[in-house]
Amino acid sequence: MCRGLLNLSQNEFACKIPETFIDLKNLEFLDLSFNCFGNFGVPLLLGEFHKMKEVHLSGNSLFGQIPEIWEKLSGVEKIEFFKMGLVGEIPPSMGVYLKNQSYLRLDNNNLEGLIPEKFKFLLKTANEINLENNNLSGRITYTCGGRVGRKMLKLGGNMGLYLKINDSCCCCENGGTDDYGS
């Protein structure tokens, strides 16, 4: 059986990500990173790729919010949405539906607010999460566990975010303190 792979990264494609991609229902890997797509938001059509394992859109100035499309994408393992000009809050549905997530990059955007309570599942199971250089705030507790191997959580550049680490097996880069204090 042939895997649906499409890598069109670094081609200087511009304007909007084509709606005709919807015809590629069997895609498992999509890399459109570092093109010149801009100002149309994360395409909602991504929610139609039920077999998707990896999606890479980084380096495109798509702007807008992260859409609520994750219910149909529960098999996604890797997401790269860094340097996209994303705004707003991280959708709680990412924590609910992305049960196979091992790698998530949402760094270098303009995301703000609290990390959703439902996001805690991802914090336990993913091997690497990068949320650096956003405007995230609040307090989170991080416990290593779930997947085997090195785990990395990158939170630097979120000055309002405070982290409490419940175990010593983790590697964490954090802009705040590693303890809530009193």
CATH number of the domain within which 117 lies: 3.80.10.10
Q: Do residues 153 and 175 touch, judged by C-beta distance below 8 A? A: no
> At a CB cut-off of 8 Å and minimum separation 6, what does 130 contact?
82, 104, 105, 106, 107, 152, 154
Quote the number of domains for the chain. Answer: 1
- For residue range 47-63, list pLDDT tens digits in order: 999 999 999 999 999 99
3-state class (DSSP) for residue 93: helix
Provide the strand spans (E) within 13-133. Answer: 14-15, 27-31, 36-37, 54-56, 78-80, 87-88, 103-105, 110-114, 128-130
Q: Which pLDDT tens digit goes with each residue over 98-116?
A: 989 999 999 999 999 999 8
Domain that includes residue 91, residue range: 4-173
| Under 8 Å between Cβ of 42 and 16 | no
Mean pLDDT for all residues in the chain: 87
> Quick one: pLDDT at residue 1?
43
- Would 178 be classed as within a structural domain? no
Does 134 fall in a domain? yes
On whether residue 125 sits in a domain, the answer given is yes
SS3 117: helix
- pLDDT over 80 at 147, yes or no: no
Q: Residue 81 falls within a domain, yes or no? A: yes
Residue 182 in domain:
no
Asked, for residue 71, whether it belongs to a domain, the answer is: yes
